[in-house]
Amino acid sequence: MNIDKMSLAELKAMAAKVEAAIPTARAREAQAVRDEVNSLLAKKGLKLSDVMGSAGSARRSTKGRSVPVKFRDPKSGAEWSGRGRKPRWFDPKHSERFQVGGTA
């Protein structure tokens, strides 16, 4: 197959076929790697968690979790945990004024 002599339409058709074949080839190669890894683990008498560690040991995201209030505006009573956008009332130069449990 000589692509130099192909028309634009033929080249576009071939490119579409190649793009469609890439996910299948990727999945086939990934399965081959999984099979090879599983075979090697079986030969050594190990489990994947023995080699890679358990999923629970990874550090978990704190996104979406509530955290205790660290700062409070003495005038309005507004609270801030120290995460996210800094409120207008908070002055980092005098943060001790706003600390919860600290002297105001």
Degrees, nearest 5: CA angle 80-86-78: 35
**pTM beyond 0.75:** no
Please give the DSSP secondary-structure letter assigned to residue 91.
Answer: -
pLDDT of residue 76 exceeding 60:
yes
Tens of pLDDT along 9-38? 999 999 999 999 999 999 999 999 999 999
Asked, for residue 60, whether it belongs to a domain, the answer is: no
CA dihedral sign, ordered 2, 3, 8, 9: positive
Residues 36 and 70 in one domain: no
Asked, for residue 56, whether it belongs to a domain, the answer is: no
Residues 79 and 47 in one domain: no
Residues 7 and 44 in one domain: yes
58 pLDDT band, cuts 50/70/90, is: low
Degrees, nearest 5: CA angle 33-56-84: 110
Tell me which residue range forms the domain holding 102.
66-104
